[in-house]
């Protein structure tokens, strides 16, 4: 097989890149380990920055997002039994949209297939060859047969556990990493959201997040121990802990309902530099992971492939490689801004086992400052809705 851009991974990064390239008249093939059903059902992120929504709109894949997405103009910080709204739109002129990542993936898969795009699901044994030459290839197995895809460029969009990053020799990459002494237990519940906006709660029992996916689906998270098995969290214990962590002094109530999905996700920060090696470009979670507290992961993946599609379009059109040369550095500026914000939000809201009473007083002072100071709240809001220029 032959294509211009070989893409590994049909997550938001790989699918959107394939679609953006198609709009530029560039051919691509997407190779995905899992089934179509699996990638379309995987419950993950749900907060889209305004810039992400605008890009999907310009790319012609935001019809359902506009109809079903929930536009939010603020978020709530909750601590000490009190609620404090951060009015995102008043402070920045911008908003966020709640729309499940699996819905973005569904819309992109449909758009690719309707346009005759090649997305191969359930391929395994992906191996990259010759990425340091101008004739890279991807070997894989599909339908029980060994295959080879020849391309000009490879986009490694295969997430944190993918194989593309390993094609970069260790001497040619530098890794920056941080582990956190907690994980998130994520729950999808069949119950109407109890709050109109996302609630971030810092409590003495640890962090909790109340979010939503639709008028009838609530998404909730609890900070838990990093090695906690999901079996340790029967539904009754989850609701009890959520009730305790989200409780307020003003009579607010959390409605409970059947839990449809639950899973524990470890938390880490990770960046590989540079994001390019020869003809291999690592985009999205394949190149960087942020703790989910700042809701940045999917938005960063989208930003990476937006810049990459523009750079590849310029290269194919004129032969000029300067945008490809600067691609990694351009993306890393945004990645590190998001790392800083996500780490800061995580420290603001979570309890660490080694937090001493002094640290807890500092945390409370920061939360009080955000609740009282417009300048502090504006900084949070500007980062949360997504910086336009980084």
Ligand X SMILES: Cc1cc2nc3c(=O)[nH]c(=O)nc-3n(C[C@H](O)[C@H](O)[C@H](O)COP(=O)(O)OP(=O)(O)OC[C@H]3O[C@@H](n4cnc5c(N)ncnc54)[C@H](O)[C@@H]3O)c2cc1C
Indicate whether 284 belongs to the interface with ligand X (CB under 6 A). Answer: yes
Please, which residue, 126 or 137, has the CB nearer to ligand X?
126
Structure tokens at 1: 């097989």
Query: How many other C-beta atoms lie within 10 A of the C-beta of residue 282?
Result: 29
Structure tokens at 196: 């109109």
Indicate whether 55 belongs to the interface with ligand X (CB under 6 A). Answer: no
In the list 159, 193, 206, 386, the residue contacting ligand X (rule: CB under 6 A) is 159
In the list 33, 189, 198, 348, the residue contacting ligand X (rule: CB under 6 A) is 33
Active site residue 72: yes
CB 181 within 8 A of CB 354: yes
Indicate whether 303 belongs to the interface with ligand X (CB under 6 A). Answer: no
CA dihedral sign, ordered 140, 145, 146, 147: negative
Indicate whether 126 belongs to the interface with ligand X (CB under 6 A). Answer: yes
In the list 101, 203, 218, 328, the residue contacting ligand X (rule: CB under 6 A) is 101
Of residues 190 through 249, those in contact with ligand X by CB under 6 A are none
Choose the binding region for ligand X from 12-20, 90-98, 243-251, 269-277 (rule: CB under 6 A): 12-20
Indicate whether 285 belongs to the interface with ligand X (CB under 6 A). Answer: yes
Indicate whether 6 belongs to the interface with ligand X (CB under 6 A). Answer: no
Indicate whether 39 belongs to the interface with ligand X (CB under 6 A). Answer: yes
Active site residue 200: yes
**Smallest separation (angstroms) from ligand X to the CB of 157:** 5
CA dihedral sign, ordered 68, 387, 331, 178: negative
* Peptide bond before residue 7 is cis, with ω within 30 degrees of 0: no
Please, which residue, 98 or 312, has the CB nearer to ligand X?
98
In the list 20, 47, 212, 259, the residue contacting ligand X (rule: CB under 6 A) is 47
Alpha-carbon span 261 to 276, nearest angstrom: 36
Indicate whether 131 belongs to the interface with ligand X (CB under 6 A). Answer: no
Choose the binding region for ligand X from 61-69, 159-167, 322-330, 377-385 (rule: CB under 6 A): 159-167
Alpha-carbon span 46 to 269, nearest angstrom: 19
In the list 59, 71, 163, 390, the residue contacting ligand X (rule: CB under 6 A) is 163
Give the CA distances from residue 163 to residues 98, 171, 273, 305, in Å, rounded to whole numbers and listed in that order: 31, 17, 16, 18
Please, which residue, 104 or 324, has the CB nearer to ligand X?
104
Site residue total, ligand X (CB under 6 A)? 35
Q: Which of 390, 381, 174 is nearest to 288 (CA)?
A: 174
Catalytic, out of 72, 262, 306, 350: 72
Alpha-carbon span 218 to 229, nearest angstrom: 22
Active site residue 99: no
Buried b (16+ CB within 10 A) or exposed e, 204-230: eebbbbbbbbbeebbbbbbbbeeeeee
Rounded to 10 deg, the angle between the 374-385 and 357-372 helix axes is 90
Instruction: Write out the catalytic residue numbers.
Output: 72, 200, 292, 296, 384
Q: Which residues form the interface with ligand X (CB under 6 A)? A: 8-14, 31-34, 39, 44-47, 101, 126, 157-159, 161-163, 186, 265, 284-285, 292, 295-299, 301
């Amino acid at each position: 097989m032959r294509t211009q851009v070989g893409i590994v991974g049909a997550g938001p990064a790989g699918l959107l890149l394939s679609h953006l390239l198609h709009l530029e008249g560039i051919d691509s093939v997407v190779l995905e380990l899992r089934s179509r059903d699996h990638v379309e059902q995987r419950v993950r992120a749900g907060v889209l920055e305004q810039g992400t929504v605008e890009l999907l709109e310009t790319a012609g894949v935001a019809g359902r997002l506009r109809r079903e997405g929930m536009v939010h103009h603020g978020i709530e910080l909750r601590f000490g039994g009190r609620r404090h709204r951060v009015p995102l739109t008043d402070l920045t002129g911008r908003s966020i949209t709640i729309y499940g990542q699996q819905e973005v993936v569904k819309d992109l898969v449909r758009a690719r297939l309707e346009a005759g795009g090649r997305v191969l699901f359930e391929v395994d044994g992906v191996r990259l060859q010759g990425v340091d030459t101008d004739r890279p290839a991807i070997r894989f197995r599909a339908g029980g047969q060994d295959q080879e895809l020849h391309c000009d460029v490879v986009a490694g969009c295969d997430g944190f556990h993918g194989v593309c990053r390993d094609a970069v020799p260790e001497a040619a990459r530098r890794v920056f990493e941080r582990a956190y002494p907690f994980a998130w237990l994520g729950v999808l519940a069949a119950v109407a959201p109890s709050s109109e906006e996302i609630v971030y709660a810092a409590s003495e029992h640890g962090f909790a997040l109340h979010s939503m996916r639709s008028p009838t689906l609530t998404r909730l998270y609890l900070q838990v121990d990093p090695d906690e098995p999901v079996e340790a969290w029967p539904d009754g214990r989850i609701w009890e802990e959520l009730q305790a962590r989200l409780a307020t002094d003003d009579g607010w109530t959390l409605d409970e309902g059947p839990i449809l999905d639950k899973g524990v996700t470890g938390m880490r920060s990770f960046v590989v530099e540079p994001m390019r090696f020869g003809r291999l470009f690592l985009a999205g979670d394949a190149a960087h992971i942020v703790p989910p507290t700042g809701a940045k992961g999917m938005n960063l993946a989208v930003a990476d492939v937006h810049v990459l599609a523009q750079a590849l379009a310029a290269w194919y059109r004129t032969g000029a490689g300067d945008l490809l040369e600067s691609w990694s550095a351009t993306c890393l500026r945004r990645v590190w801004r998001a790392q800083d914000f996500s780490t800061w939000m995580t420290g603001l809201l979570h309890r660490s086992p080694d937090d001493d009473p002094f640290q807890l007083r500092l945390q409370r002072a920061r939360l009080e400052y955000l609740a009282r100071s417009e300048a502090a709240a504006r900084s949070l809001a500007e980062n949360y809705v997504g910086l336009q220029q980084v």
